[in-house]
Amino acid sequence: MPTAFHIEDRSWSRFTFERKGRVLTAAITSTHPVNGVDDAMHEELSQVFADLQRDDGSDIVILTGRGRAFCAGGDFDWFDEQIEDPAKFRAIAWDAKRIVSSLLEMEKPIICRLNGAAAGLGATIALLCDVIVADEKAVIGDPHVKVGLVAGDGGALIWPQLIGYAKAKELLMTGDLLTAAEAVALGLINYAVPADQLDAKIDELVTKLQANPRWAVRWTKTVANIPLRALAAQIMDAAIGWESVSNFHKDRREAVDAFRQRRAPNLTGE
């Protein structure tokens, strides 16, 4: 018999884990104030969902963030490194695709406990979960364009499937953020509740899932994800490719500087 695997068997620098029976909570845990994605987190995101699937001690996964945010997009110091040395952006392409594909390949149901802001890749990860429950004060959006990038790491894949192309393209091209209530109204997420009711709502959903036969739940989710997996296979190479190209442009640097300095960018079209 193969040795049982538990996700804690691997060393993690950007995740912490907690078990309650056969429910496993994975929390994005970073020293960054809003759980911004840096190189270490990006690498672990490309591995964690495969390991959550392999974990022998769990049937249901809850994904959340520690602190005041879920995951508010890329770390700006990391952006600076990628702008100065575009080879560093190219180097993460494989992991970027694997984050999306491994989330969609998970059989175990994964509930997103959206405890705070989710932006960019953080929003993509949240929306690729099966059920999303948000703190009513949370915001969600994909502001890749605000920092001069194509929304290539999954946003252009999942947003149109959840809310339709017209509204999704508007939000992806403007980079606007939505309140949790607005996201529920659009059908982007499932629930928005007061912060003190967030865990109770998660527990309610877990109880409903556990009341059904495990394999029926898992494989129903698996079948429902087949079209998304097929679509990801069709577009992710091009999406990551175009995002990589956008990292070379002069407006990329100006957009990052302006965003950091909270001013309007002086864009040249280059």
pLDDT computed for residue 74 by the predictor: 86
Whole-number Cα distances in Å, 202 to 103, 117, 140, 141, 199: 19, 18, 19, 22, 5
Cα 131 from Cα 153, distance rounded (Å)? 20
The answer as to whether 83 is a domain residue is yes
Give the pLDDT score at 94: 95
Structural domain includes residue 88: yes
Residue 179 domain flag: yes
Q: What is the pLDDT of residue 45?
A: 98
> Encoding tokens for residue 241?
């490719």
Over 70: is that where the pLDDT of 69 sits? Answer: yes
Predicted model pTM: 0.96
Look at residue 1 in the predicted model and tell me its pLDDT.
Answer: 57
Residue 2: is its pLDDT beyond 80? no
What average pLDDT score do residues 72-84 get? 90
**Does residue 269 sit within a domain?**
no
- Return d(Cα 246, Cα 258) in angstroms, integer: 17
Assess whether pLDDT exceeds 60 at residue 189.
Answer: yes
Provide the CATH number for the domain around residue 172.
3.90.226.10
Separation CA 153–CA 99 (nearest Å): 9
In the chain, the number of structural domains is 1
- Specify if 145 maps to a domain: yes
Q: Is the pLDDT of residue 254 over 80?
A: yes
Average pLDDT over residues 195-202: 98
Average predicted confidence (pLDDT) for the chain: 96
Find the domain containing 189 and state its range. Answer: 7-261
- Condensed to tens digits (0 to 9), the pLDDT of residues 130-182 reads 999 999 999 999 999 999 999 999 999 999 999 999 999 999 999 999 999 99
Residue 266: inside a domain, yes or no?
A: no
Q: What is the pLDDT averaged over residues 229-252?
A: 96
Asked if the model's pLDDT at residue 3 lies above 90, the reply is no
Please report whether residue 1 resides in a domain: no
The whole-number pLDDT of residue 213 equals: 98
Report whether pLDDT(92) > 90: yes
Regarding beta strands 23-28 and 15-20, do their DSSP bridges make them parallel or antiparallel, or are they unpaired? Answer: antiparallel
Map the chain to HEC letters. CCCCCCHHHCCCCCEEEEEECCEEEEEECCCCCCCCECHHHHHHHHHHHHHHHHCCCCCEEEEEECCCEEEECECHHHHHHHHHCHHHHHCCHHHHHHHHHHHHHCCCCEEEEECCEEECHHHHHHHCCCEEEEECCCEEECCHHHHCCCCCCCHHHHHHHHHCHHHHHHHHHHCCEEEHHHHHHHCCCCEEECHHHHHHHHHHHHHHHHCCCHHHHHHHHHHHCHHHHHHHHHHHHHHHHHHHHHCCCHHHHHHHHHHHHCCCCCCCCC
Mean pLDDT of 253-258: 94
Which residue is associated with the tokens 């990038």? 149
Local confidence band at 73 (pLDDT 50, 70, 90 cut-offs): confident
| Number of neighbours of residue 167 by Cβ within 10 angstroms | 15
- pLDDT the model gives residue 37: 95
Asked whether residue 268 is assigned to any structural domain, the reply reads: no
